[in-house]
Each structure stands twice: as structure tokens, then as C-alpha cells.
């Protein structure tokens, strides 16, 4: 059960702040998941929505969808965020992540990923658990991505960690996906 009232109706916000609700609906079709809590701070909810829209829809040239979705799934799992993990199941499948890979991530096993993707598991794991990435893993990221791509990968991991922390803190459950 959520710890703050879900904001799912624009009338729950003061008239002067309803623009933020409308922005979220305009970009996502509805207010769901972390945005039900984030709209308690409309400006923050709006800015988070814009960052997410950039990462999901505009960064494909530097951060391929498969890599974006794998990093989101790995981060969600490492942060024990059932909602985020469930929400990205279909998106990951659409981006080419197989059921076997999804299962490996669910079971915290990098070995279930293709060898060429294991560096990504290491990158996300190090970033979340050690708060930095070692030189060898960083070099692998640079080899596969441009400098901009590595920056956007870090932003993607950070964005989904922020959403996972929001979902976990406010107890927004996967049944709400």
C-alpha cells in the first residue's frame, strides 16, 4: 500500500500545478508508477518525466534500446524494485532481451547473459553497489560506446535507481504496473 496518496487525477493538484500532471499524461498516456508519488512535488515530477523521456526516446543513437533496457533491469533487480523490474519486462523483450536473459538477471546471474553483455552487468553492479566503476569495466564501456554513450549509460542507471528508490520508499507495488 502506497505511503502517500496516489495522484492519478489532475484535480488532486492545485489549479496552478495541473500543468505537471498534464505533461506526464501527455508523454506517458497516464500517471502511473513513480509519478503517482513524484507529483506531490509537481516541478520534480515534470523534470523527472523529461529526463526519462530523453533517456527512453531520444538517446537511442548513443545508448541502444537493448543496452538501456538491460541496464534498467539489472539496476531494478539489484535495488530490489519489483515494480521497475516488472514494468521493464515487456520493454526489454521489445528491445531484444530474451526470456533466458531476463531470468538470469532475476537470479542475479551475469553468466546467463551473452558474453558481450556481461560487462554491462558489471558496470551497473559496480555503480550501484560500489558507487564507482573500476578501470577495466569503464574501458569496456568506452570500447562499446562513445564518451556521450557512457555518460548516458550512467544517467540511465541513475535515473532508474532514482525511480526504484521512489517506488520502494512509497511502497508502489508491481500490481500497479
Return the number of other C-beta atoms located less than 10 Å from residue 145's C-beta: 17
- The answer to whether residue 5 sits within a structural domain is no
For the chain, the distance separating the N- and C-terminal CA atoms, rounded to the nearest angstrom, is 14
- Which pLDDT tens digit goes with each residue over 100-139? 999 999 999 988 899 999 999 999 999 999 999 999 999 9
- Which pLDDT tens digit goes with each residue over 70-97? 999 999 999 999 999 999 988 999 999 9
- Our count of domains for the chain comes to 2
Give the pLDDT confidence score for residue 166 in this predicted structure. Answer: 97
Strand, helix or coil for residue 83: helix
Give the pLDDT confidence score for residue 61 in this predicted structure. Answer: 79
pLDDT at residue 66 is higher than 60: yes
The model's confidence at residue 52, banded by pLDDT at 50, 70 and 90, is very high
Of 12, 57, 69, 15, the residue nearest 37 (C-alpha):
12
User: Residues 148-155: what's their mean pLDDT?
Assistant: 96
Same domain membership, residue 162 and residue 76:
yes
The model's confidence at residue 62, banded by pLDDT at 50, 70 and 90, is confident
Report yes or no: 101 and 71 within 8 Å, Cβ to Cβ. no
**Residue corresponding to grid cell 564501456:** 141
**Chain mean pLDDT for the chain:** 93
Domain range for 94 is 65-176
Domain boundary residue, one of 42, 58, 74: 58
Same domain membership, residue 115 and residue 78:
yes
The three three-digit cell numbers of residue 140, written as one number: 569496456
Of 86, 49, 88, 50, the residue nearest 69 (C-alpha):
88
Same domain membership, residue 144 and residue 92:
yes
Same domain membership, residue 90 and residue 26:
no
pLDDT at residue 177 is higher than 70: no
Alpha-carbon gap, residue 23 to 45, rounded angstroms: 9
- The answer to whether residue 157 sits within a structural domain is yes
User: Residues 32-57: what's their mean pLDDT?
Assistant: 95
pLDDT at residue 176 is higher than 90: no
Alpha-carbon gap, residue 84 to 71, rounded angstroms: 12
Amino acid at each position: 500500500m502506497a505511503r502517500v496518496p496516489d495522484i492519478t487525477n489532475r484535480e488532486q493538484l492545485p489549479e496552478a500545478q495541473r500543468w505537471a500532471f498534464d505533461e506526464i499524461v501527455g508523454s506517458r498516456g497516464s500517471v502511473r508508477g513513480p509519478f503517482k508519488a513524484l507529483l506531490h512535488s509537481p516541478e520534480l515530477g515534470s523534470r523527472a518525466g523529461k529526463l526519462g523521456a530523453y533517456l527512453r526516446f531520444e538517446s537511442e543513437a548513443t545508448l541502444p534500446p537493448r543496452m538501456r533496457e538491460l541496464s534498467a533491469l539489472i539496476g531494478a533487480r539489484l535495488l530490489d524494485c519489483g515494480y521497475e523490474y516488472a514494468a521493464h519486462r515487456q520493454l526489454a523483450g521489445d528491445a531484444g532481451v530474451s526470456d533466458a536473459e531476463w531470468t538470469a538477471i532475476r537470479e542475479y546471474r551475469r553468466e546467463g547473459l551473452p558474453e558481450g553483455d556481461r560487462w554491462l552487468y558489471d558496470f551497473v553492479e559496480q555503480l550501484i553497489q560500489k558507487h564507482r566503476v573500476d578501470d577495466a569495466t569503464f574501458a569496456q564501456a568506452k570500447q562499446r560506446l562513445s564518451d556521450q554513450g557512457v555518460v548516458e549509460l550512467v544517467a540511465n542507471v541513475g535515473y532508474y535507481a532514482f525511480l526504484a528508490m521512489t517506488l520502494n520508499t512509497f511502497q508502489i507495488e508491481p500490481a500497479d504496473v
